[in-house]
Amino acid sequence: MKLIIDDKIPFIQGQAERLADEVVYLPGSKIGPDDVRDADALIVRTRTLCNRQLLEGSRVRFITTATIGFDHLDTAYLDEAGIAWTNCPGCNATSVGQYVRNALIEAEREGIVKLREACLGIVGYGHVGHAVCESLRPYVREILLNDPPLGDEGLTVLSPLSTLLQECDIISFHTPLTFDGPYPTHHLADERFFESLKRKPLLINAARGGVVDEAALLRAMDKGLVRQAIIDTWEGEPNVNRQLLSKVFIGTPHIAGYSADGKANATLMALRALVRWQSSLSPMDNEPMFDIHLPLAQEERTGINYSPTSDSNQLKDNPQDFENLRGNYLLRRE
C-alpha cells in the first residue's frame, strides 16, 4: 500500500510506516494529482483540497484528515467516487478551550471585559464548544449555549441566537463551516447579526474563517457595535485580512487547537482510522501499536501560563508569514 501524508502532521513519522509499504511526506498545499495517482490512502490537514480535481483517475480509496474540520473534503464527490473518509472530531477540543480561556484572561487584564460580571455565549456546542464551556465556567457569571441542530435533538439547555445577541458580553463561535442545509453557518455573523447586538460584546472566532463575515465585522467595530475581537480563523487563509488583523485585540494564525496533546490525539485517531479501513479490506491478526512521545512542557507555554498574545504579536508583525507561523508553530501543552 502507498500512503501520502501531509508533512506537517506531527508525531506520525515512524508510526505510519507500520501500516504501508511506501510512505511519502509532502507539503499539504502542494499535494497534486500526479502525487496521488498511484496512492491508496491519504492522511491530510486542511491545506489539501480533496476533490474531483485532485482525485479523479487516482487509486485513492481512503482519506483521513487529522483535523476536526472537514470542509476541505468534497464529501459528496468522495461518496460518489466510493472513497471512504474520516475526520478527527474532538481531537483538539481541550486545546481550543485553553486558547479561549487564556485569551479572555488577557482581555480582562487589558480592561476589555470583566469576566466575573460577563455573560458568555457559545455558538456551537459540539466537542469544542463543550470544552470551551467547561474551561470558562469557573470564570464567568453565566453561559448561554446556541446550537440549533442539537435543539432539534431535544437538548433543552440551549438558547436561541437572538437571546445571545441581546444578553451576552462575549460571543464565541465553535461551529463547522457549512453552506447549505437547514442551519448554514457561512457568514453566520453578518451585517444583520452585528446590527442586532445589544451589549457591544467581545467577539471570538476560533471556528472556521467563513463563519464570520470579516467585512461586516470591520464595519461593526468601526461603529462600536463590537467591543473588541479575538480571531484565530480567517476568511481567505493564508491571506489574512490585514486591516482586521491590525484592529483585533488578538489575531493568531489558526493555531487555537495546536497543542502537542491535541496534535497527538489527531495523529493517533487518523492512524487508527486507517487501521480500521485496512481491517475492513483484510482482517488483521494483530492491530499495530503506536508509540507517540510528547515533548517536555515549556512552563511559559503550558496550561494557564500560555499567552495567546505572544502568537498574536508574531502574526501582526509578519502577516505575510501566516502559513509559516502556522506550519512551524511551537506546540504548547495543555
For residues 142 and 1, give the distance between their C-alpha atoms in angstroms, rounded to a whole number. 52
> d(Cα 290, Cα 271) in Å, to the nearest integer?
9
3-state secondary structure of 223: helix
Q: How many residues can be counted in the chain?
A: 334
Q: Kindly report the three-state secondary structure assignment for every residue of 250-288.
A: EECCCCCCCEHHHHHHHHHHHHHHHHHHHHHHCCCCCCC
Helix (H) or strand (E) holding 113: none
Bond from prior residue into 238 cis (ω within 30 degrees of 0): yes
Give me the active site residues, please: 208, 237, 254
DSSP 249: S
Task: Say how many Å lie between the first and final Cα of the chain, rounded.
Answer: 35
User: Is there a contact between 233 and 205 (Cβ–Cβ < 8 Å)?
Assistant: yes
